Amino acid sequence: MNNYLLILKKELIDIFRDKRSFITLFIPVLLFPLMYFFMGTQLSGGNLTENIPCIVECETDSDRQLYEAIFNRTSLIEETAVSEDKYTDLKKGSVYGIVEISNGKITLVCNQNSAKTISSMNLINLHLAAFSQQIFNESLQQQGVDMSQLKALDYSGAMTDLSELIPDAGNSMMASIAPMMLVMVIMSGGVSVAVDLFAGEKEKGTFESLLTTQVSRMALLMAKFTAILVISLLSMVLSIAAYVISFKLNPGALGLYTGNPNADLSDIRIISVSQVLCVVAVCFTLSLFAVSVMTLLGINAKTVKEAQSQMSLITIIPTLLSGLTMFMDSASISDGAMLIPVFNTIASIKMIFLGTVQPIHIILSSVSCAVYSVIIWFICVKMLNSEKLLRG
């Protein structure tokens, strides 16, 4: 126990004196707010709700009159002259769209490759639809038609989210952000430390020296494992803080996840303490699993370079799985799928925030990750006691 604490203390001092560890831990706190500021600016800054620059082409005078009738009462469109060629102007982004009117027929041309123009052009589209409906209604009313008799359905087209009706219906915003964010941070947080603590020591030759001391290989393994776990969890906490700071400074960035550029932090609601505890449970067991895998790869690798290339896999896999679960209906995930490591944590967190999680999901996810960690631990102990470890 004394040796365990001694090694752990030394490893943590060594890690915190390393500029690279410091950068790995604290870079998200500095970088995320900047990144989201830039992305949020792109997202909200490009969407115009008035004075949308467009090229307007009217074939005849009556087409021009029609245009003026539709748009002159609003400041929706800012008519812009063609500078090179109308399509080139649209492609370059100097205009958001082209309004073509030919003998009363209206056509809108937009650039689907430019995200910032799409929502602006949708506004013009909606305005045209509303104007068309208004003309239609006025025409019928002039002919004495009772409009209420023409209404087939009393339906406005607007949908109400379940979370506005019952408080425990879940939080789709958190369900989309949290799993990806947490899992990626957990899986990558301790990588640089894991590389240094095993492969790094082997490469330097200090590992061999340690094996000639009184310390047991088990104490060595446990202390190094704990050091990686501490850094992994610390990295997760700091990254969560960085995300909160980012969204606090620039709420518009939340629109990246919600499609709503006007979203703000109050839209994120952590509903209950039990939800938080469930998230902590699945995140902690995933951390155990991730650190076990990092330890195994670190022990197995002979050089730092080899360890780095192997460990890049454990940052790629969760990224892919995170993307996969974004398109998955969490309610249809089977119990068996909850035994797949990493995937089960992503799915669990998603279900927790959607309010669809069952206790069995949390148990299967946490217990399976813990069991896999124990299995990997046995392999680590076996490898550490193997003579192949230092044969190089």
Partner 1 sequence: MITVSNVSKSFGKAQIIKDISFVAQPGQITGFIGANGSGKTTTMRLISTILKPDCGSIEVDGADVVASPEEARKNLGVLFGGDVSLYNRLTAWENIMYFAKLQGMTDDEAEQRIRILSNLLDMDKFLFKRVAGFSRGMRQKVSFAKSIVHNPSVILLDEPSTGLDIYSIRDVQDFILTCKEQGKTVLVSTHNMHEIERLCDNLVIIADGRIIRNGTKDEILRNEGTDDVMEMFFRIAEGASR
> Can you spell out the DSSP letters for 140-206?
HHHTT--HHHH-S----S----GGGT-TTS--HHHHHHHHHHHHHHHHHHTHHHHIIIIIIHHHHTH
> What DSSP state is assigned to residue 14?
H
- d(C-alpha 194, C-alpha 200), whole Å: 9
Tokens of 352: 């927790």
Binding residue for partner 1, selected from 61, 154, 329, 387, defined by CB under 8 A: 387
Q: How far is the CB of 314 from partner 1 (least distance, A)?
A: 26
CB 386, min distance to partner 1, A: 11
Which CB sits closer to partner 1, 4 or 343?
4
Number of Cβ within a 10 Å radius of residue 9: 12
Q: Cβ closer to partner 1: 148 or 212?
A: 212
Q: How far is the CB of 311 from partner 1 (least distance, A)?
A: 21
Give the DSSP letter of residue 388: G
Task: In angstroms, give the least distance from the CB of 229 to partner 1.
Answer: 20
Q: Which is nearer to partner 1, 2 or 143 (CB)?
A: 2
**C-beta of residue 66 within 8 angstroms of C-beta of residue 103:** no
Q: CB 375 → partner 1: shortest distance, Å?
A: 26
- Gap between the Cα atoms of 128 and 122, Å rounded: 10
Q: Which stretch binds partner 1 (CB under 8 A): 37-45, 198-206, 268-276, 349-357?
A: 198-206
- Answer positive or negative: Cα dihedral of 173, 175, 180, 182: positive
Q: Which of 381, 75, 37, 372 is nearest to 216 (CA)?
A: 381
Query: Least distance in Å: CB of 222 to partner 1?
Result: 14
Chain residues 206-235 in contact with partner 1, contact rule CB under 8 A: 206, 208-215
Task: Work out whether 383 is an interface residue with partner 1 (CB under 8 A).
Answer: no
For residue 26, the minimal CB distance to partner 1 (Å) is 17
- Residue 34: which residues within 8 A CB-CB, separation 6 or more? none
> Which member of 92, 105, 204, 248 binds partner 1 (CB under 8 A)?
204
Contacts of partner 1 in 1-40 (CB under 8 A): 3, 6-7, 10, 13-14, 17-18
C-beta closer to partner 1: residue 36 or 207: 207
- Binding residues for partner 1, per CB under 8 A? 3, 6-7, 10, 13-14, 17-18, 204-206, 208-215, 387, 390-391
